[in-house]
Structure 1
């Protein structure tokens, strides 16, 4: 199922292949996801054609209702949340580093499928007759929102994946666009998110978010000319 702004939607297949290399990334590289989608095992496509629901989703997700006189008539969601790793170097926690006195208070698993609806990896328009083809390999890194009073090592040991691991993933999609249609294709990266509540070296209490890439999802917005 896809969950967007608290609403559950069914999902469809999107090819995502991930492999892992190690690379250290700064906290500034993180893009804070604000919405969540969740996959089920069936990967069935969600198609929205109800005008009232289309208008609601367009408002929630900043989708234009009109494009060059063409009217939004259908929204499709396709998603897969699986990831395939070459190897698993993540530490199994909670395990504290020898560097003290960091105190881990809580580790909160916020689940899979988090994404930023305002930061698509890809956003392109196709004017039929045409074929919307998208194939690209990108890289993304497991990140933490900050490291105040703590180290990346301690974060990694407690969230169960290594901050700084780099993932490459390939996304492919091919869609015929009829002559009387326009199509807007958007692709989003999704993450597995965890929150870490702790007291840092400075004695202050903090909450940080750690995120691991966990797939991609594609949105197709159809317009009638």
Structure 2
């Protein structure tokens, strides 16, 4: 028997838990209602807190959206990822809709940030994190004799990633995970891609194409399975 029961969480730990719950709830509401349509009261309700908890942790809805972006970037930032790995299982319909909603909300936020100097700087910092991630991928998978610098290839990878998302949102083109990986591979190592693409062309799953979408897919799918998490099934 444990004679030393665990100490209650400190004030700082409680605040971290509150912020994490609000960020998870915000991801759900932003995906469902869009950036402009999302209400802080609704986010607080889903997280299990009052509206005051939102204002005590975030200066504005924009800062809460930036926190959602930060959480997504943290999820993918430390992961080893290789475009030559086999494609993983595609997303279900519900998860795919959430991912699409997040992408649309992000476009709304970008338009808002473009007209605000502080938000523009904050957004640029997040975009740089994504560029650094793709630069790392390019550096680790680059072919011998590649004339472009890793940062240049990384920028092209990020542009492909974001461009695919934009095309998908317009409904004019559908690029699944298999096609996305083929495109990334051809940018990183065209010669190796010719071999790997043939292997992936048979029975490869579809699903969200962008790298960050794949990570968000895993997070959302876990929430849908767990009633205790924001976004999970509720009785």
Q: Which TM-score applies when normalising by structure 2?
A: 0.25
Higher helix proportion (structure 1 or 2): 2
Q: Which TM-score applies when normalising by structure 1?
A: 0.26
Higher RCO, 1 vs 2 (CA within 8 Å, ≥6 residues apart): 1
Higher strand proportion (structure 1 or 2): 1
